[in-house]
Amino acid sequence: MFAVNDILQLTPAGVENFKAQFGADDELFVSKVIDESTEYAQYFVITNLTQMKSKVEPQKPLALTINHAHSFFKQSLDDDGCGLFYLHDERSRVSDEQLEVESPNWIKKREASWSVIEKFQSDEQILKYLLGMLARQITEHAAYLNVNEKAIRRALNRYISNGCRKNALLPIAYANVGNVRRVYKTKPGPKGSLLPSLRTRMIEPSDMIKVQRLAVRNCVDKKDGKFCLKRLHILFLKEHCSSEVAFERDGETHFELIVDESKKINYQQFKRLFNKAFDPQQQQVLKIGKSAYENNRKDMTGSAFEGATHAGQLCESDSTELPLYVAYPLNKDKIEAAGKPTLCIVVCVRTQMVMGYSLGFSSPKWIGVAEALVNCVQNKKEYAKQYNVHIDDDDWPSQHLPLSIRLDNGGENTPKQFGIVLEEDLGLSIVDYCPPANGAGKGTVEHILHIIQGFISNITGSVEKKRDAGIQHASQRAVLLIEDVHRLIIRAICIHNTMNSRERLLTTEMAMKEVIQTPSAMWAHLINDELLGRPRMSQKRLPELVYLLMPKLKATVHRNEISLKGLGYFSDWAEKKGWFAKATVARFKIDVISLGDTVDTIYFKDEAGELQPLSLKKEYEMYEGMTELQAEYQLNQIKENRKELEHKKESALVNFEHEIEQAVEHRLNNEFKDAPPNTQKTIQGGIAERKAIMIENEQQIKAEKLANLMRVSSAGKMKNEPLDIDDDEDYEDVY
């Protein structure tokens, strides 16, 4: 841990990162440590000692968090291995009484400089200045005092560079009183020129209006209580700097937005435009809530990946309910919400690459973690094709199982389940069970989950924090299906893996080999290492892995089918094994697994360790292609319909019985009222003769109806008038 006045040197990563600002051999020192508070993490203020000795005015110091400071700088040691520290010049530690005697004019000049920066001397103001967040306030204060902005900035640079001591504001020449004139060294060199692809255009007056309209229309998103200007910058590029182009892929025409480099402005330009477009009061109106770091977002002492040297060695897994309502797909007549899905991810701590994920409507439980682990070893390019997403192998290169994992000790993850399945069956080491609701114990995965949620925080159906009661609830705007969310999650993970800069994770070896500081690039470097690397897992092992990780379901074998959750399955293999013959004597249960995609097939593991598929029977073909949720819904619908039909049938049968009684009573009271009751118990005689007479009478009646029909048809043809007669019904009466 660095302390105030420690002399530092650049690490190889620091030389590469600050090559445009510092020389490789420059000495630096810690001029101030800003302690951690509720508003910001601990920061180290680092001043370039070499440049301060060689230049008339010191440069603006750096403000770095503990992780960045230790990544880019190291303690300077003497020959005995002891740390070096910086002592301020003796002249800068002189007392006011001595100054009054020796140089009274110097005090007046010091007090003049002190007055212009008196407003910016708190730790919070110093930190904001070093992070570039006081530009507007300094401009306004300079205008109020009627001084040049440089007078404030130079005084702040000297004050902060010399440990925030008042005598640091003594005129520069005072340090040389009675001393030999300083020898000024040459500058480290000019800054490198930007690549052509990184150059941007000049700001135009119309850009200010565009930024104002864009911010008002989209408001300013809340992210940890701070303005999320990056998304507004992306929207600016989309609306004002992009054009749509068509291209062919797999015989189909697709459309994509291409950013016009001649119209593009970078994020720093956009940020300056935004700060000019809105004063602090207007920004507060746009802003929602107060800014505050969450506990798991603060910089901690040490690092989460300490001790992990290769990819996948230590992983963290966690689940969270996404702030997004998904559409209900089973009712197309109305936009209805099916609820908010739960996302579970597995993250490599060493590289911060997302190795796998799972997404579903169920609350966090073992099935989500199991599906995420299965996804870790899947070929991501083939997996993404299932959701019509085309990615490259470099976008998501993980196809490996974690070596050790850190999990929640919540209800979804019981030690018994993990101990048996992970440790004994798969050989994974469980590093720790973090206490429930303790996000700091899994800071890496919590941070990545927060990043992924940020990608979907502004799409249709997303939940708005501190929503105005007059704004429509997000559940009323749920139009995206779960398949759409899968596509967005895959895209978000690929963007994080390939485009998020994680320079503090670079090692000296990575820096020397010019490894790009993205999770996927660092993963590829470590996983391909000759000593510590690992080959990708064969996809042929997926069935075995899936069976081990998936929860076992109890299916019942009947004499003609295998029943599971109201559906029937059959297999020639099971029939050869004599399952159905055995079930004629007594039904029995077996362990099966379901992959969760469709209900078409379930799997049973035989004695040889092979998975035997059990297919849906033809009589249940109406459920083919459905997910478990859809099939369950349809089964419940059929069950409800059956209950309703049974209820209606009961009423109809009551009336049917009533009609029978009425018909019998009517005939007894009319046609057969004078007939005596039959008392004979044997079959009546003469039934055949009476039946023949009835047939003859019936034929005469049908012949008369047919003759009448023919006469009516002939008359209709003569008049050329269409007749509304159903021939089929008439022929039914005849025959």
| pLDDT bracket for residue 99 (50, 70, 90) | confident
Query: Where does residue 650 rank: exposed (0-12), middle (13-18), buried (19+ CB within 10 A)?
Result: exposed
Q: Could you read off the pLDDT of 486-524 as tens digits, one per residue?
A: 999 999 999 999 988 888 888 888 888 888 889 999 998
Q: Is 437 exposed, middle or buried (0-12, 13-18, 19+ CB in 10 A)?
A: exposed
Contact (Cβ atoms closer than 8 angstroms) between residue 461 and residue 323: no
Q: How confident is the model at residue 81 (pLDDT cuts 50, 70, 90)?
A: low
Q: Which pair of tokens denotes residue 182?
A: 């300083």
pLDDT tens across 574-593, in order? 888 888 888 888 899 988 88
Amino acid type, 312:
G
Helix (H, G, I), strand (E, B) or coil at 623: helix
Q: Which of 557, 587, 585 is nearest to 571 (CA)?
A: 557
> For the residues 268-279, what does the mean pLDDT come to?
83
- Nearest Cα neighbor of 230 from 286, 276, 202, 271 is 271
CA dihedral 34, 38, 41, 47 (to 10 degrees): -20
Mean pLDDT of 36-47: 75
Whether the per-residue pLDDT at 312 is higher than 90: the answer is no
Listing DSSP states for 537-551 in one string gives PPGGGHHHHHHHHSP
Q: Residue 676: which pLDDT band, with cuts at 50, 70 and 90?
A: confident
176-234 pLDDT, tens digit per residue, is: 554 444 444 444 555 555 566 666 788 888 888 888 888 877 764 444 444 577 888 88
Strand stretches in 301-425, DSSP E: 315-321, 326-327, 337-339, 342-348, 354-360, 404-408
DSSP, residue by residue, 93-117:
G--HHHHHHH-HHHHHHHHHHHHHH
| Model pLDDT for residues 544-565, shown as the tens digit of each residue | 777 777 777 889 999 889 998 8
pLDDT confidence of residue 354: 92
Q: Give the dihedral sign, CA 596/598/602/603.
A: negative
State the pLDDT at residue 469.
64
> Above 90 in pLDDT, residue 365?
no
Supply the pTM of this predicted model: 0.51
Q: What is the mean pLDDT of residues 679-685?
A: 87
Q: How many residues does the chain have?
A: 735
- Kindly state the percentage of the chain with pLDDT values over 90: 5
Secondary structure E strands in 530-629: 553-557, 562-564, 567-570, 588-592, 601-605, 611-616
